[in-house]
Structure formats: structure tokens, C-alpha cells
A and B are shown apart, each in its own frame.
Chain A
């Protein structure tokens, strides 16, 4: 198939620090092209998928992502998401999506009250999203978490609705795929590592797939399937047109 590469945009806030890693990760996929989107701009430059990267957007001395949510670029990202565009928030990007109201719930301080950088196993709970379509349900992805506020929480009613609507995309699990206390690095409700919105086009996750796309690095390649899913989905949409 010789279709044009899928166009990714990586948002750059002044305190983003995984923007370059996300850019680099996407550039390892032959089927993708990537460009940066500056936080003070409003032009999404015709990208087909937006990545909100990890980092500390505006310092995050206040609640993480609380200021980023009001940035010029986010107004365009919100419009883009509402019109069905694919948006993936990683770590600080997840926090920002939650602040922006594009995803339910909130991310609070880790139960250990420390920043935690650790390899975790992520169990794929649903493949019915543009972000996990290239995975198998129950598949384990080995990816690094690194955050201080990754403890996902949501009110019981919304949680019930999210479960009913299959919005829990990734859960922390042990190497056997079981939910155990030791496998959850931050105390997240029901071991939730990643969720999507009802329309399934907005996805947030705390672990960092962009640091797990190259087998020769310590991070391994456990994150590739997530980017591949986005590329496959968007290519299929192009073909369908």
C-alpha cells in the first residue's frame, strides 16, 4: 500500500519534555510523518492525529495541566477532538485532557507520594479504539511509567458508565496479566492506566509508549503497537474514502 504517510502533530508547551521523544518515536514508523505544534499557535497544520506529550506544561506548580488547558493550541485541540480527530495524551498530556474535560476523571498524587519511574505491564482491555486496534485483548505491553501524579480516580457513577461503555483501555497488571497490588505503581482506581472518551477518539495514558519503540534501548519496544494502531486506523480511513 503506497498511501501518503499519516500526519502526526506533537504539541509543545514550554515545559514539555517528552515532545522530542514523541517526535522521535513517530519518526521511527515508515507510515508516519510528524511536526511540532507550538502552544501559542492555534493552527493544527492539517495533522490527522494530535499527541499531547509528557512533561510539565507550564511548570505545573499548580495542578498538572490546569494552565495548559487554557493555552491557544488547546482551544484548537478541543475543537479537533469534538469533530472526531484522534487525540492521544501521554502522562502530562493525559492530565491536560482531563483538565480540558475531554476525558473523565482526574489524576491525583501517587499513593507513595514520590515520583516513580518504573517498568510496568499494561494489559490491553479493549482493542475497540483507534489506539489499540493493532493489539490483542489481554495482551501485555511493557512500558515505562514516570510521574508524580498518575493516580487515576473517578466518581463511582462515571466509573460504572465507563466500564459499561468499554472506556477502560489499559490496566496495570503483573507479568501473568493479573491485577495485583505490586503491579500498580501509583494507586490508580482499579489499576487504570489509560482511558478513552465515549466517542473513542480521545485517549489518555500515564505510561510513556514513546520511550518504548526501539528494542535496542532499555525502554524496549512495548509501545509500538499503540502508534501502529493510530497509523493503521488513519490509513484505513484514507483508503475508505
Chain B
């Protein structure tokens, strides 16, 4: 080993001059090359959160249900009857941009390991995806690869992927987003944390052999912007083996449930380096790792390569001498490698050995916790405006045919059905799925219990671009609203904060604003942030993505049988709109699709109204007063109504490809007849019927109720603003305004537009 750990070498590894000086100070002189490689990864943005840590402290992170907040592999929330849910979301943006199939597949693999590492059996996955416009061939290639990779890995593991979200905006063209969320069920007395302890205990590596794949994945890919060298970075993308991961899940859960391990940690970004240093740092102990004992795919690997390899499907466990034989037996039964590669020491040092020679000696705590903290002075970007757009007929000419405008919106890639994607996912395995993809939230029962859980994820990047504070706040409110539309009580958040280069003041401002918006909404809605991930440097050729703070949320049911979906159920049911009377052009899908513009200032969520809306809506569902509930999001009121009509064509929540298949209970689609009242009474609509139909605003929900239950519903809703819009009837969607017809469109036509995405792929 002749490689010198000079400043030059440090800069090549992505460290700064200051960081190098700090390392030399900790190490008492020039470090070894292995030490330098370890520091470079642990102090990369991806592993150290150096730009985000000072801001993330703003989040509420605790509450009576929260058993584990941020800082572990996943957050854990008590959901009753001795059950808890472990949840987390993580980005795999850059690997997916380089190699979409494997990038997305290993994203799923990584987040799933975070869940079962804690002892939880993974029970659901959801994925938030962002691409450039589908008119670009490369974007279609990326979409196809990413969805295929998620399906490949998740389906093989037998973990249901119950939805997610997909949006297309030009800002993601050079830097797609792949945010993989997973959650698992765990008994509250079975939780395992990644804390090494017990001097003399074995450090055991379980799972795949270590190779050169993914070397520098975290530092090379996740902590830099993209440029023309994109293709050269392909070797930094890991390759997934879901079959091995499936065996790892079963073996590790058995080890944990039989109490055969002291603690466990998965090998993710920075591989053995991060897992060993985090485990020793949290446990205030040292670890000796004998790199030469690690089973290899390629015989001639150097110790620094072994330490930073990101080969997938590997776990690190701390095991007592008495239990090692049992651990070996379990791993053998699952045909998994199980190798003692080191031991716990009282040195508090992370020491790496190579055939008896010490090649690294690092104070574990300083490595894990003393990474530099950087707070970029924030600068409000010049494009931000303080006022909504003046909707001038000259700039925004009124559409002649409102029915055609509606079908155009339904066919827009951001609104159109994503059935093409979710039909590639096994959303039914594990026999708990009560609500399949396509509605507001995924709903699962808990076996042998009346209880259930629900998940949603949300983020409107366009809104966050126009106003990161309001957009992020609205993302939290909408994720919660989606859960409540299914009848669940929102209880916790996991977030994936995707931004551009944090060294730029404008990006840092977006980040700070978004965090503030999330924090305020989470406080108001009583949904602490229990886990998450920050992904910076989402830029290509200097162009940043829209700020995209993706919110994943968990909801709970005491009695899951109350849950409802978005589908209209019966002819004659009364359609009621709850919440705000508002519809804005600013940042709407309508503004983009019909006018090709993204401008203005998105409306602010009134958190007091939002909380009241969610409480009353949930009370109505719990009292079994409602037949359906659906959030008004992209495309506004009319798209929400259209979606409820289209969903009525499903039986049990699922639609048949076959156009002759039965629709609703009496074998056909259900239409609706609604009157919007006066556009003048709608804030933001500027008196325009098209805006009343297509404008967007938070805190609006469409529900249906049997006519005889309208009275009891009124009582539950009390002073919450609500208004009867019309009735479920016929097979057309007909909208009027104070009796004057705006449009009538057969639901079959709405359906064709809504399901038209595959035609553009």
C-alpha cells in the first residue's frame, strides 16, 4: 500500500482543504489512505448531512405514539394492540438517473433493509417518482426502467407496492427523482437498534460477498451535481439481487425474534465504513474490523475498497460468543454467508486490520459526529413573487369548450391514471391490502386485530418552486388529508427532501423555507417527523430541480372496516364539498396544461381550517355516514369529480381492462349532476367558471352521502364550511353554474382520457 493520503488525494475524494486539515488534526498527522477514504465517505453530504443538520432540528420529532424518532434506521410508531410500524423514505435519485432499472431496484432494497434491520417485517412500499416530460425519449426510457426496477425488486421480495406518485416536469429532465418509502410491522417488544455493545462480542457480516460494485456510490453520485460525465458514473451504481435480500429478510427476522443478535445494522451508503462507525459511535465502544476476513467477489481488492464497497444485500450484526453457533445455523439454513470479521473493543476506536497490520485507527465518535456543519447564507431567489397572478383574459384567454378542457386535463400525464405503472407492482401479496392503488391512500389491515394502517405520499414540486414554504406546508396538509379521506388518523411523517446544490444561497433558501413549512404543518396536524432523508445536488448542468420535499405519512385506524375510497357508489347519493371556497390559477395543472405557464404565488394553507376539516371528515367516516371521499388536488374540483365518476367503474376498487366489464353496483359507470354556484363567490376564481372548475386550493374534499344521512352529516360537520353540489346520477358528468350548463361529458369519455397514459409511452 503505497498510496499517500495527501491533500491532493483528499480533494480527489471530494473533501475540502478545511476538512482535510480537520482530519489531520484528529489523526495527529497525515492519515493513512484507508483512513482518508473512510473520512471522505462519512463526511460526504450523503452520509453526514453537513448542510442540512443545522436546519432539520426545526422538526417536531416526538409524541406519545413515537417509539423511535430520527437517528435510527427507521422511525417507529405505536399503532395499538402491541403493534408498531417502522417507516422511512430514502432517495435513490442519482443512481436511477445513471442506470434506472438497477438504481431504482437497489433503492427499494436499501429502504427495505432499513426496516427489517430494526426487527420489523416490511409490509408496504410506495414510491415517489419525478421525471422530465414524456415527450422526451430519454424520459420514457427512465420511467420504464425505474418502474421496472421497483417491480422487479419489490415483487420478488413479496412486499406489496401499494401506489405512490409520479409527476413529470421539465426541471427533472436531467435529474429524475426516485424516492422509495417502506414500512414494516413490529411487536413493540421486539425492536432492535443499531448500537454495538459488549466488549469481546463478535462483529458478523451476513449476506452477499463484497465486490467492487457501488464504490463511491454515496460520495461520487449522491453528493455531486451531474454533468457530461454521467455515463462514466455507471460503475458506481450497485446491482441488486432481490433473491438474496428475501433470504436476508427471513434470516434476520428469525435472528432478531429469537434474540440471537445484540444489534444489527444494514450496509447502505459507504458500506462497511458507515455501518461499523455508526454502530461503535452510538455504543461508545470500539470495533476492530479485519478487512482480510471479508468474503470477496474479486480476490485482489484493497482494504479501502472493501471498506467502502456498496455491494448490496449485506448486514452487520453484533453477536455474543455463546450465540454465534445458533446464528451460523440460521444463516446456513438460508444459504447465506455468515462471517466473523471483527470484535467489539473498549478502545472507542474504529480499527481496520489487513493481514495483521493496522491500516486505520480512527476515533469512532469523532468520525461519526464531528463532520463539518455548513450553513450557507440563504438568498431569496429573484423569481419568487409575493402576489398571485392577475388572471387577465388577454394572457389567459377563456376556453371555449370546458368539457374539452376537462378531458385535456384528465389526459395530462400528471393527472392521468398511473395504472400502467402500478399494475406492474404486486399490491396484494401478504393478504392485508384493503385499498389498492388509484385512490387517495393505501389501506392495510393488521391481521388478528380490528386495527389498520394507511399510507400516503405527496408533494407538488411546482407549488414548492413558486413558494417553498407554502408548497411544503401544503404537501404535509395534503398527505394528511389523503389519509383522512380514507378514514385514517394521520400520526407520523417520514420525509425525503430533494433539492439542488446547497452551496448555492438560493437553494439553501428553498431548503430552509420548505423545512419551516413542513415543521409548522406537522405541529398543527400533530404528525411528528420520525425519519427521513435529505438529497442535495439534484442539478444537472447547473439547473436545479424544483424543490421537492416529499412527505410520506402514516395513518391509523382503531377499526379499519370504516375505510372508504373515492368511487361514487349509488345513484341518488348526494355530493357535498367540504372546506375552502377557493380555486387559484397560480401553480395549477390547468395553468401549465392550458397556458404553458408556471407563475404566481400558490395559496397558503389555513392550518386551522385544515385541522377542523380533517377532524370532521374523519368523524363522519368513523360514524359510517359517507359513501366516498376524495381530495381536490391537481385539476381542481372538476377533475376530482371526474375521478370519482371514473372510479365508480371499478368493482371492489379495481378496474378491468375489459371495456365490457361491469361498472358499479348496477353494472355501469356512475355520472354526476353538479352545480357550482357562483364563480364570484370562489376566492381566486376571478369570476371565471373555468377557474372555479380547474383552479386549485388546499383544504377541499368531495364526499358522497346517502340522501337519508344528509341530516346526520350536517350535524357532524357543524360550522365547517360545506355545500351540497349535486347528486350522483346517470352516466354523464354534467356541471352547471347557477343553472347554466358548463358541460356534459359521458364518463366513458372521461375514462378514455384518464387511462390514455400508455398511448404516450
A interface residues with partner B (beta carbon < 8 Å): 14-15, 17-18, 20-21, 24-25, 40, 55-56, 58-61, 114-119, 121, 142, 144, 146, 174-176, 180, 182-183, 185, 208, 210-211, 214, 216-220
CA distance A121 to B241 in the complex (A): 34
* B431→A21 contact, CB < 8 A: yes
For the complex, what is the distance from the CA of A192 to the CA of B377, rounded to whole Å? 65
In the complex, what's the smallest C-beta–C-beta distance from B145 to chain A, in angstroms?
12
**Main SS class of interface, A:** loop
Please name all residues of chain A whose beta carbon is closer than 8 Å to the beta carbon of B658 when the two chains form the complex. Answer: 174-175, 180, 182-183
Q: How far is the CA of A61 from the CA of B240 in the complex (A)?
A: 12
Find out whether the CB atom of A218 lies under 8 angstroms from the CB atom of B662: no
B707 within 8 A of A: no
Q: How far is the CA of A40 from the CA of B157 in the complex (A)?
A: 20
Contacts of B428 in A (CB 8 A): 117, 144, 146, 208, 211, 218-219
One of A117, A119, A182, A218 near B426 (C-beta < 8 A)? A117
Give Cα A56 to B153, complex, Å.
11
13 residue pairs from A and B, CB less than 8 Å apart:
A14-B250, A14-B335, A55-B156, A115-B426, A116-B423, A118-B657, A119-B654, A174-B658, A182-B659, A211-B429, A217-B431, A217-B433, A218-B434
Given contacts A14-B335, A176-B660, contact A210 B246 (CB under 8 A): no
Nearest neighbor of B430 in chain A, beta-carbon distance? A21
Taking a contact as CB atoms closer than 8 A, the residue among A118, A146, A216 that contacts B429 in the complex is: A146
User: What are the 9 closest A-B residue pairs judged by CB atoms, nearest first?
Assistant: A17-B158, A59-B243, A182-B658, A175-B661, A119-B654, A174-B658, A146-B426, A21-B431, A182-B657
Q: Which residue in A20, A21, A58, A174 is a CB contact (below 8 Å) of B661?
A: A174
Contacts of B242 in A (CB 8 A): 56, 59
Give the residue among B425, B426, B561 with the most A Cβ atoms within 10 A. B426
B429–A17 contact, CB under 8 A?
yes
How does the 8 Å CB contact mask read for B219-258 relative to A, with 1 for contact and 0 for none?
0000000000000000000000111101100100000000
Contact status A14-B246, CB under 8 Å: yes
Q: Are B246 and A117 closer than 8 Å at their CB atoms?
A: no
Within 8 A of A (CB), among B389-444: 422-436
For the complex, give the distance between the alpha carbons of A208 and B158 in Å.
13
- List residues of chain B with CB within 8 A of the CB of A56: 156, 242-243, 246
Known A56-B156, A56-B242; further 10 A-B contacts with Cβ < 8 A = A17-B156, A21-B430, A21-B431, A55-B156, A117-B428, A119-B656, A175-B661, A182-B656, A211-B429, A218-B652
Residue of B nearest to A219 (CB): B428
Task: Given A59-B241, A119-B656, decide whether A217 and B434 contact each other with a Cβ distance below 8 A.
Answer: yes
Closest chain B residue, CB of each to CB of A118: B423
Contact: B434 with A175, CB < 8 Å?
no
A29 to B88, CA, bound (A): 36
Binding site for A on B (CB under 8 A): 148, 151-152, 155-158, 241-244, 246-247, 250, 333-335, 422-436, 445, 447, 561, 651-654, 656-662
B334: which A residues are within 8 A, CB to CB?
Answer: 14
Report how far A61 CA is from B175 CA in the complex, Å. 30
Known A117-B423, A217-B445: A174·B433 in contact at CB below 8 Å? no
Contacts of B656 in A (CB 8 A): 119, 121, 174-175, 182-183
Option from A18, A217, A220 in Cβ contact (under 8 Å) with B432: A217
> What residue in chain A is nearest B561 (Cβ atoms)?
A216
Report chain B residues within 8 Å CB of A121. Answer: 656
Closest to A172 in B: B658
B433 touches A116 (CB 8 A): no
Asked whether A210 lies within 8 Å of B431 as measured between CB atoms, the reply is: yes
The one of A15, A175, A208 that contacts B156, using a Cβ cutoff of 8 Å: A15
- Closest B residue, CB atoms, query A14: B247
Contact B657 A117 (CB under 8 A): no
Chain B residues closer than 8 Å to A175, beta-carbon distance? 656, 658, 660-662
Report the minimum CB–CB distance from B446 to chain A (whole Å). Answer: 12
Q: Which residue of A lies closest to B246 (CB)?
A: A15
What's the nearest-Cβ distance from chain B to residue A180, in Å? 6
B426 CB contacts on chain A under 8 angstroms: 115, 117, 146
Q: How far is the CA of A183 from the CA of B397 in the complex (A)?
A: 44
Instruction: Please indicate the chain B residues that have their CB under 8 angstroms from the CB of A208 in the complex.
Output: 428
A220 to B148, CA, bound (A): 27
Q: Residue among B561, B653, B654 with the most chain A CB within 10 A? A: B654
A214 to B561, CA, bound (A): 13
Closest residue of chain A to B158 (Cβ to Cβ) is A17
Contact B660 A180 (CB under 8 A): yes
Q: CB within 8 A of A115: which of B155, B436, B662?
A: B155
Contact A218:B436 (CB < 8 A) given known A18-B158, A118-B423, A146-B429: yes
Assembly CA distance A115 to B151 (angstroms): 7
Cβ of A161 to closest chain B Cβ, rounded Å: 30
Contacts of B431 in A (CB 8 A): 21, 24-25, 210-211, 214, 217, 219
Chain B residues with Cβ below 8 Å from A17 are 156-158, 246, 429
Residue of A nearest to B426 (CB): A146
CA distance A60 to B152 in the complex (A): 12
With A119-B656, A146-B429 in contact, do A114 and B424 touch (Cβ < 8 Å)?
yes
A116 B156 Cβ-Cβ under 8 A: no
Measured CA separation A98–B244 after assembly (Å): 25
Whose C-beta in chain A lies nearest to the C-beta of B436?
A: A218
- Are the CB atoms of A61 and B424 closer together than 8 Å? no
Are the C-beta atoms of B430 and A20 separated by less than 8 Å? yes
Once the chains are docked, how many angstroms separate the CA of A58 from the CA of B436?
28
Q: Is the CB of A218 within 8 A of B429?
A: no
A20's nearest neighbour on chain B, judged by CB, is: B430
Query: Which among B250, B427, B435, B653 is the interface contact of A117 at CB below 8 angstroms?
Result: B427
State how many angstroms separate the Cβ of A35 from the closest Cβ of chain B: 17
Tell me, in angstroms, the Cα distance from A220 to B152 when the chains sit together.
25
Q: Cα distance A114–B147 when bound, in Å?
A: 10
Closest B residue to A148 using CB positions: B155
Tell which of A18, A115, A214 has the most Cβ of chain B within 10 Å. A115
Query: What residues of A have a CB within 8 angstroms of the CB of B436 in the complex?
Result: 218
Q: CA–CA, A211 to B430, complex, Å? A: 8
Contacts of B651 in A (CB 8 A): 119, 142
In the bound assembly, the distance between CA atoms of A142 and B654 in angstroms comes to: 11
Residues of B within 8 A of A118 (CB): 423, 654, 657
